[in-house]
Structure 1
Amino acid sequence: MVSLPKGIPILKRAEWGAVASVLPMKTHVPQKITIHHTATKQNPERSLKAKLQTLQKFSMERSPLSGGRIKEPWADIPYHFYIDVNGNVGEGRPLQYVGDSNTSYDPTGHALIVLEGNFENEKVSPEQRQSLEKLTLAIAKRWKISGTQIWGHKDNASTACPGEDLYLLLPHLRDLVDGKTSQRK
């Protein structure tokens, strides 16, 4: 079993009431970090627990996507970590298992982090940015991932994800992991 990154508070699956996966999952070892956005409006009033429960329910069902395409059920939440608008971090799919995507790329070896929001028209909150920096550093340190292996979803597939505002943070994350800059305050 792969342990969670140390030194960052994470709402664990048992704490938010995760149910068991509904399909078999393939194991992997993180070698890259890929950043996503939920592409939904930020909602600071809703709890992280409720957001994760809703995402898990959506993920495990046959569900319509924007544009009308139908998504077949996934085994579990597609992402390993979820950062809400308030900067709270939740454990999604256990990190030892390959995540999922509704685009055509193979996420094997990718630690998937999703931030709540649509960053084509919203801004990453300062709290999200701070948690993303800490989480990215912790994952990179734990699995010896270099800054060159930090990606946005759109670097792997034809999509706008993770949205322009979040995508603009990736060079800073790469430099942070490689020790070329420090965390922003």
Structure 2
Amino acid sequence: MRNYSLRLLIIFCLVFTACRSAKEVSLPKGVPIVTRAEWGAAAPVLPMKEHSPTKITIHHTAVKQAPQKTLQEKLKGLQKFSQERAPLADGRMKEQWADIPYHFYITADGTIGEGRELKYTGDSNTPYDPTGHVLIVLEGNFQVETVTPIQFQNLVNLIKAVAKRWNISADKISGHKDNASTACPGDNLYALLPQLRKAVQQQ
């Protein structure tokens, strides 16, 4: 009886581990990414909803590029802002979020940082449901600035890796303003979306 119970326990543990592993959403391979651990992320401050990536949505920070600051400074600042109830530039009040709203952050020098863990749904200041969306934000205000060449190249590399990893088709790549009433990701970045879709189609 004891051996039978032990076998049942082992089988349960194996099944539980397999199910848990199936839900894990790891980072895409083949693209250098500064992980949360590497830039010193704080823990989330609220519960988050799990999801599976099915779309890719592009954002901009809407703040001018600051090449003098490190990725660590930018992500720590973004996380602090995200985890507090804080006023937005248009006067609205942003409620507290669990963590950085985006899954990836790309600086002007092309460095890619991990934001919110991919297995969790992101957040938005605008009324759309980001469940299933892999949210990628580029540093810059692309109403008035242009995407740097290295920033765009690494965006292409990241999107191709994400699309391949989760079998996301080119027609599932959009800008923030395709999902909500906003100028994000800025006209100069939005104009590059056809090139991103083409890169995914050709891989």
The TM-score range, normalised by the shorter chain, is: over 0.9
Displacement of 1:67 after TM fit?
A: 1.3
Alignment correspondent of 1:174: 197
Please show how residues 14-53 of structure 1 align to structure 2 within 5 Å.
14-53=37-76
Greater gyration radius: 2
Question: Secondary structure in 1 aligned to 2:141?
Answer: coil
2:152 to 116, 129, 138: 129
- Report the TM-score, using the length of structure 1 for normalisation: 0.96
Tell me the C-alpha RMSD between the 2 structures: 0.7
- 2:167 aligned to 144, 150, 156, which one? 144
Deviations 1:68-103 (A, max 9, x none): 110000000000000000000000000000000000
Q: Secondary structure of the equivalent of 2:77?
A: helix
What secondary structure does 2:151 align onto? helix
Extract unaligned runs of 5+ from structure 2.
1-23
After superposing on structure 2, the runs of 4+ consecutive aligned residues of structure 1 that deviate more than 4 Å are none
The equivalent of 2:115 in structure 1 is 92
Richer in helix (by share): 2
Equivalent position SS for 2:197: helix
| 1:118 counterpart (133, 138, 141) | 141
Matched residue type, 1:70: M
Aligned to 2:20: none
Q: Distance in 2 between matches of 1:147 and 1:173?
A: 8
Shift of 1:40: 0.3
Q: Structure 1 unaligned runs (5+)?
A: none
Among candidates 62, 67, 82, match of residue 105 of structure 2 = 82
Say which SS state the counterpart of residue 112 (structure 1) adopts.
strand
Whole-angstrom CA distance in 2 between matches of 1:120 and 1:158: 15
Q: 1:162 aligns with which of 157, 181, 185?
A: 185
Aligned match of 1:5: 28
Structure 1 counterpart SS, 2:56: strand
Matched to 1:159, the amino acid is: T
Quote the Cα distance in structure 2 between the aligned partners of 1:5 and 1:45.
28
Q: 2:92 aligns with which of 53, 69, 90?
A: 69
SS of equivalent to 1:122: coil
Aligned residues: 180
- Which digits, 9 at most, give the CA deviation of each residue in 1:34-90, with x for residues without a partner? 000000010111000110000000000001101111000000000000000000000
Q: Counterpart of 2:83 in structure 1: which amino acid?
A: M
**Deviation sequence 1:101-121 (CA, Å, 0-9, x none):** 000000000000000000000
> Could you tell me how far apart the structure 2 residues matched to 1:63 and 1:6 are?
35
